[in-house]
Amino acid sequence: MRVSVIGGSTVSESVYEQAREVGQLLADRGHEVVCGGRGGVMEAVCRGARENDGQTIAILPGSNRQSANEYVETAIATGMGNARNALVVLNGDAAIAIDGHTGTLSEIGLALDYGRPVAGLDTHRLDGFDQFEHVENPTAAVEYVERAVENQPNAQGRPARE
Amino acid sequence: MRVSVIGGSTVSESVYEQAREVGQLLADRGHEVVCGGRGGVMEAVCRGARENDGQTIAILPGSNRQSANEYVETAIATGMGNARNALVVLNGDAAIAIDGHTGTLSEIGLALDYGRPVAGLDTHRLDGFDQFEHVENPTAAVEYVERAVENQPNAQGRPARE
Amino acid sequence: MRVSVIGGSTVSESVYEQAREVGQLLADRGHEVVCGGRGGVMEAVCRGARENDGQTIAILPGSNRQSANEYVETAIATGMGNARNALVVLNGDAAIAIDGHTGTLSEIGLALDYGRPVAGLDTHRLDGFDQFEHVENPTAAVEYVERAVENQPNAQGRPARE
Amino acid sequence: MRVSVIGGSTVSESVYEQAREVGQLLADRGHEVVCGGRGGVMEAVCRGARENDGQTIAILPGSNRQSANEYVETAIATGMGNARNALVVLNGDAAIAIDGHTGTLSEIGLALDYGRPVAGLDTHRLDGFDQFEHVENPTAAVEYVERAVENQPNAQGRPARE
């Protein structure tokens, strides 16, 4: 499947390493990564995925696709600014949120609005959403989204051909 | 100024009346309302604003501008689905969130990301955001956004000609 | 009805006057103007419309609604760059193209794709499109779009409440 | 480099074969294909590219990425309808237009507006645009866009890392 990984563009070293591990795990289990293409969590998750030969897709806010971080395989420029946040989460079957600030909060909301399950790792505390689960570590994040997508076999976001 | 009012499309009667009062107050103080143009909070706030001869603008997810609620003066169709959420909050100088679910959560995140102050009335509990304030009633919501915009005179969202 | 007026952002004085006359005529006949909100044809048509107390709406490429020309009544910022061209023509029931270059060409294509009739005044020569008509002057432009919209009563773009 | 291929979604067999040959040539020369992801020209060019192991990217109007044609490797859903046309051409360094109707006309305009050179093959007759060239066959189309991109080494669309 394809997993949107969302999070801050400037992060601490420990958050960076967590995001990198999420990328490694996703690629190891055969999942594609889609993200916003910039630094911090976005760079770390692409880096981890590439270390395990995973596919990495970026949907960028700007209009120059060369601005993607160096671990992005397929960069899509939008020139749409924050309106591209919707596309980042629309293009995954589920999302993992790591750290992050206001942009990440918006993407969690958009992901849930599209019916995507979201695992939250060291991110905003949110209560009362069925498909949002706080998790303790990268493995738990990946396992949550795998299980959640498996349990919604007819969801719009479910990949038919992957 | 222009205030984005965001919230659920299906709401209880008491939430509807709160949103209507927000609309009445905004119009009474000379502010324009911008919203998502549909039912619930969006209809109520436009209705209240129109009762006091206020200007109401809707930015719709669909491609037919006739789908706006009947209290919308200027309807803008986008055909962009949830990606339009960014435009709803970009087009206000501040936002008031009333009730709401995942779409509203995304709009709060987007508003804060654009630097817009947000008053939350019976909506998601969010902590740790400088420009987000939980308020107790419609008057407090309007007063908060007025004060917050006044205190950021050079903000991008600040209206120069209004 | 609402008419999208599209054209170049830097134009000669004679083109400017033609666009201004289009705006005057549209307002005089009770139609709203929607445009891209910048200079040249966009400024001229809004100016003409305001001279006859018409309503003018701008859908801007940038994220600051203060960048609209001074004759715009309701400015909508998008921050989406050229992707906003689609919204300019989606939000009219018909379009009038005056002069212009590549952006205008794209808007003619988008307008026709949405099923909007287009009158072309001193603009690109295009053949083979049913709903595109070259016209000789502002009056002919306005008369063409009035007639064309009247003849497609069930079109998506037809206003129901105006 | 990456080349946007634009054209009709329902085409004759001979147009289909031309588009397929364009895809074969682009892949054979190491270029990626980006398109709108649907049938007709979009399917044919992806099919041809895949026959030569090329990379194919689709930017879809709808919100379900499974709706891409079967020769698309990386599908991006937008849910933005025609507003996605801008993204199709923004994401190539140049464009090749084959046949097509109003949507293709809009994409030619948008490509030129972004400064992308465009080769036209059996498509709209357009005069007076510096970077638009009518070509006679698939080879001439590919050679034109290669040459045109080479001659604008500092263009925004020029790939730095490919």
The pTM (predicted TM-score) of the whole model is: 0.94
Chain B residues with CB inside 8 Å of C74's CB? 55, 57, 74
Query: Which pLDDT score, from 0 to 100, does residue C154 have?
Result: 52
Residue C4, classified by CB atoms within 10 Å of its CB into exposed (0-12), middle (13-18) or buried (19+), is: buried
What's C52's DSSP letter?
A: T
Q: Taking the CA atoms of chain C, what radius of gyration do you get in angstroms?
A: 14
**D109 to chain C: which residues are within 8 Å by CB?**
102-109
Q: Which two tokens stand for residue D67?
A: 């709706």
pLDDT of residue D155: 52
- With a CB cutoff of 8 Å and minimum separation 6, the contacts of B153 are none
The list of chain A residues with pLDDT below 70 reads 153-162
d(CA C87, CA C93): 12
Cβ within 8 Å, pair C103-D81: no
* Helix or strand run (H / E) with residue D84: none
Contact list in D for residue A57 (CB cut-off 8 A) is 74, 76
Q: What is the pLDDT of residues C3-41, one digit of tens each?
A: 999 999 999 999 999 999 999 999 999 999 999 999 999
Contacts of B86 in chain C (CB under 8 A): 79
Chain B residues closer than 8 Å to C65 by CB: 91, 159
The Cα of C56 is separated from the nearest Cα of chain B by a number of Å equal to: 10
Select the residue of A101, A110, A124 nearest B106 (Cβ to Cβ).
A110
- Tell if the CB–CB gap between B109 and A129 is shorter than 8 Å: no
Alpha helices in D29-101 (DSSP H): 41-51, 85-90
pLDDT band at B155 (very low <50, low <70, confident <90, very high): low
Q: Output the six-digit token pair for D158.
A: 């020029």
Q: Give the residue from C27, C30, C29 showing the smallest Cα distance to C45.
A: C27
DSSP H or E segment with residue B43:
helix B41-51
**Cα nearest neighbour of D32 on chain A:** A74
The Cα–Cα gap between A135 and A114 comes to 21
Q: What is the pLDDT of residue C129?
A: 93
Residue-wise pLDDT for D8-46, tens only, equals 999 999 999 999 999 999 999 999 999 999 999 999 999
d(CA D86, CA D106): 9
Q: Are strands B56-60 and A118-121 parallel, antiparallel or unpaired?
A: unpaired
Please report the pLDDT score of residue D160 as a whole number: 35
- Counting as contact any 3 or more CB pairs under 8 A, the partners of B are A, C, D
Helix axes A138-150, A13-28, angle to 10 degrees: 40
Neighbours of chain C (3+ CB pairs under 8 A): A, B, D
CA A131/CA A119 separation, integer angstroms: 8
Mind listing the pLDDT tens digit for each residue in A27-39?
A: 999 999 999 999 9
Q: How do C32-35 and C56-60 pair as beta strands?
A: parallel
Distance from CA of C108 to the nearest CA of D (A): 7
Single-letter amino acid code for the residue at D78: T
